[in-house]
Amino acid sequence: MAKQSWKPGNMLYPVPAVLVSCQGKDTKPNLITIAWAGTICSDPPMVSISVRPERYSYQMIRESGEFVINLATEELARVTDYCGVASGRDVNKWEKMNLTPMPSTVVAAPGVKESPVNLECKVTQVIELGTHHMFLAEIVAVHVDEKYMDQKGKFHLEDSHPLAYSHGTYFSLGEELGRFGYSVRKK
C-alpha cells in the first residue's frame, strides 16, 4: 500500500481534549477547550497549553499567569465542544453548561467540579510561536474525584472514559491493550 505525501501540518493525533479554566483580575472565570495540551516534565511537574492570542481566555491567562486544566470525559463531551466554539465574551459558559466552579487551593481560577482531575498551574514561560502561543506551566496542585478511587487508594482515571480529540472528532478512550512494560514482562 502506498502513502501520500502532504504538506507539513499537525497530524500528531489523538490528543487530550481538556477544559482550561482561567480568571483575570477584573473578569469572571471563563472556560476554553484546548486540544493542544501536554506533559512536558515530571520533576518539577509541568505541562503546556497552546492558545491563539485572539481567544478571550488568552489575555486572562497571560495577565494572571495561572490556569486550571480540567480533564474532560465522555460525559463532558458536549460541554467540551461547546466551550471550544462559544466565546466567553458573549456567554457565561459555566452557567450555560451547568458546570460547578470549584475553589482552587493555590491559583485564583476555579476548577470544574464535574471533571475527574483538576491541575492547578502557574505559568513559568510564554513562547510566542505563530498562530498559537505556548504557556509552559508548573502544576502546583492536583485534585482527583474520589469516585474513581478503589479501596486500596488507587486512582482509576480509565473509569471516567477520558476524552480524546483526533483531527476534528472527539473519542472516548476505551479498551486497555496493556500496561507499561507488558511487552517485555515474563509470563
Q: Domain residue spans in the chain?
A: 15-172
Q: How big is the chain, counted in residues?
A: 187
| CB contact burial 79-106 (16+ within 10 A = b; e otherwise) | bbbbbbebebeeeebbeebebebbebee
Question: What is the pLDDT at residue 87?
Answer: 95
pLDDT digits (tens, 9 = 90+) for 110-157: 999 999 999 999 999 999 999 999 999 999 999 999 999 999 999 999
Cell digits of residue 92:
457565561
Question: What is the pLDDT at residue 172?
Answer: 93
Structure pTM?
0.94
Cβ-based burial of 160 (10 A; exposed 0-12, middle 13-18, buried ≥19): buried
Q: 15-172 falls under which CATH superfamily?
A: Electron Transport, Fmn-binding Protein; Chain A (2.30.110.10)
Question: What is the pLDDT at residue 174?
Answer: 77
pLDDT digits (tens, 9 = 90+) for 18-32: 999 999 988 899 999
The residue among 10 and 68 whose pLDDT is bigger is 68
